[in-house]
Amino acid sequence: MKVLFIEPPTSQKERYGKLKDIGTLHPSLGLAYVAAMSESKDHEVKVVDSEAMNYNFDDIKKIIKEFHPEIIGMQTFCTNMNRCYKIAEIAKNFDNNIKVILGGAHATLEPKKCLENENIDYVIYGEGEITFNNLLGAIEKNKDFKEVDGLAWKNNEGIIINKPQELIKDISILPKPARHLFPMEKYHSSANLRGKKTLNIITSRGCPFRCAYCSGHLTFGKTHRYNSTENIIKEIKELITKYNADSIQFYDETFTANKKRIIELCDEMINQKFDIEWSCFTRVNLVDEELLKKMKDAGCYLIFFGLESGVQRLLNLIKKDITLEQQKKAVDLCKKVGIETWGSFILALPTETKEDSEKTIQQAIDIDLDYVQFPICTPFPGTELHKICKKEGKILKDDWDNFTTWDEIVYVPEGRSVEEIKDTVKKAYRRFYLRPKYMSKRVWKLRKLPPKNIYNMVKAGIITMFR
């Protein structure tokens, strides 16, 4: 069958607002895995990344006409649902026989609502690879859709939601993501990452923790399943040799959730003598000196920590399950072994006062991070945070296109205002980045970044702090 996967039109400005010049643009590995599975079953597969190619809806319409797919698949988030619906309408207006399939986070959250749109034929909820292939097989052979686990669909009698598809226990059985279908020359990392060509890789799925702002468990469960070291090494080699990567960003939700696995992977990366630096995302309670030393030896230069607040009461509220002391200890350990740190603190959480925001900003300064970001509290649908925000404060907008965490304020805690929150965010960035001691130290370290990245960071900083 002819299968067309589409990333709907958007832009870096829409995603990152004022920070568009330092934002990340990577291929969707979620789509890449599903595309790879489809290719393994001999389907003819094409991927369109509209953001990377700067395509608009007229471009998409032209591609649909030229390729004339039998299947169109799209990965959904709350922020792109209206765009997905528009593409479905375009497809159906061209050929009503094209089957439109939605998957991903938002489709998993609201499969019934998605199917209420007349142009959507099927919804895959949960992990997508097995269900998508089974659905294509059912369509090809005219089989009963009731036998396809993880599928939501509709007939003349209404909407049917089948039983869930079991999670893939051993993700090492999956083929490598089909990066060859993506415009790999178009992608770039955030501006504070080293390397002229940084590409992303996912080595595990799921997170066993319970953060109130996260909806990842709806798709991947509260588990932690990981790829084999052998497969990961092969994939890294491909990124280096085929796509000219000189830096890697491990995109796992919680990279160090399994210490033994990471030490094994680092040992093999050292044995392979990879001339490459890398970064990752993890939690402050999942690192220790032994692990960090091993990661440093294997090429790790930067760790992103979700710190979320400088107020313990708020950390408890969002079920982060870490302490302020653990934040400081993790950053201190990274400094000791020579790994830079990048921390994220959410401002304007439910019940957060202006004084609480000041404490969070001060915590970022006191623990002496190398980089910091201050996203605005955005209660994404399906998260526990969304439920908390409904009780505490006021959700201002129902238009999910605005749920971006950077410029748009969609939620205001009790006793706060939109303008005051915007001013607090500007103040946070100014207080952290404009310290003389920090600036003198950072100027020396900036030499390790590509010149374009340095320019974009300075430009974004000026816009964020002063406009």
pLDDT of residue 466: 59
Cβ atoms 73, 139 nearer than 8 A: no
pLDDT of residue 419: 95
Q: Which residue has the tokens 């890697």?
A: 248
Beta strands in 137-283 (DSSP E): 151-155, 158-161, 198-201, 204-205, 225-226, 247-250, 277-282
Q: Which residues pair with 192 in a beta bridge?
A: none
pLDDT of residue 22: 62
Domains of the chain: which residue ranges?
2-161, 188-466
pLDDT of residue 189: 81
pLDDT of residue 16: 58
Residues whose CB is less than 8 angstroms from the CB of residue 48 and which lie 6 or more positions away in sequence, other chains included: 4, 5, 6, 7, 55, 60, 63
pLDDT of residue 82: 93
pLDDT of residue 451: 75
pLDDT of residue 347: 97
Per-residue pLDDT tens digits for 184-211: 999 988 777 888 899 999 999 988 898 9
Cβ atoms 51, 189 nearer than 8 A: no
| Residues of the chain scoring pLDDT < 50 | none
What CATH homologous superfamily does 188-466 map to? Aldolase class I (3.20.20.70)
2-161: CATH topology is: Rossmann fold (3.40.50)
pTM (2 d.p.):
0.92
Per-residue pLDDT tens digits for 293-325: 999 999 999 999 999 999 999 999 999 999 999
Cβ atoms 416, 410 nearer than 8 A: no
Distance CA 10, CA 13 (A): 8
Helix-strand-coil percent breakdown of the chain, rounded to 5? 50, 15, 35
Residues whose CB is less than 8 angstroms from the CB of residue 35 and which lie 6 or more positions away in sequence, other chains included: 3, 5, 45, 47, 177, 178, 181
Pairing type for strands 198-201 and 247-250 reads parallel
